[in-house]
Amino acid sequence: MREVNKWRNLRRVTPKNIIIPGAGQESVWDYPRPPRVEPVKSRIRVEFGDVVIADSNKTYRVLETASPPVYYIPQGDIQMKYLEPGSKSTLCEWKGKARYWSVRVGKKYSENAAWSYPDPWEGFQSITDHIAFNAGKMGACYVGNEKVLPQPGNYYGGWITSQIVGPFKGEPWTEGW
């Protein structure tokens, strides 16, 4: 718990180059800390190896300061036959212990390309039995009809659309955000 409290109480720095959102846009700098979970009205789709891995109208997104939204898709809307247990786990100071999933379609393979929280902590129970996909490790991910861009860096899994403005946490110099 000491490690969790360290991350929860870490003093954060706000960058000076925050983009002001335009009409219909959201700034990741208006997202809360601790994060908030909310239902998504748009269709969410994930493709890999020319196969639709997930397609749902029942997803949640997690919003956290400095990061683009992370979309959690119910396992019932995922073709689980393409997922296999991944080789790592991580700990989020808000959501708890994450397990990872690798994706395999024929000869195409993406290791630790998705994650879930089998037993999320208080406030995040709605994402139980849901899986999030790293857009950078998939063929394509969509919010509605818009193909997303992956969050920069190798650690976070947010999806960037034209409705989201930053700057975004993820590059090496942004750890303190």
Domain residues for the domain of 109 are 2-168
Question: For 13-56, what is each residue's pLDDT tens digit?
Answer: 889 999 999 999 999 999 999 999 999 999 999 999 999 999 99
What's the rounded Cα separation, in Å, for the pair 154 and 172? Answer: 9
Evaluate whether residue 175 is within a structural domain.
no
Asked whether the whole model's pTM tops 0.85, one would answer: yes
Evaluate whether residue 80 is within a structural domain.
yes
Evaluate whether residue 120 is within a structural domain.
yes
Distances 95 to 40, 123, 140, 160 between C-alpha atoms, Å: 19, 8, 26, 21
Evaluate whether residue 105 is within a structural domain.
yes
The count of structural domains within the chain is: 1
Residue owning tokens 């929860």 = 8
Question: For 68-110, what is each residue's pLDDT tens digit?
Answer: 999 999 999 999 999 999 999 999 999 999 999 999 999 999 9
Evaluate whether residue 141 is within a structural domain.
yes
Evaluate whether residue 132 is within a structural domain.
yes
Instruction: Decide: helix, strand or coil at residue 138.
Output: coil
Q: How many CB atoms lie within 10 A of CB 135?
A: 24
Domain with residue 50: its CATH number is 2.170.150.40
Evaluate whether residue 60 is within a structural domain.
yes
Evaluate whether residue 174 is within a structural domain.
no
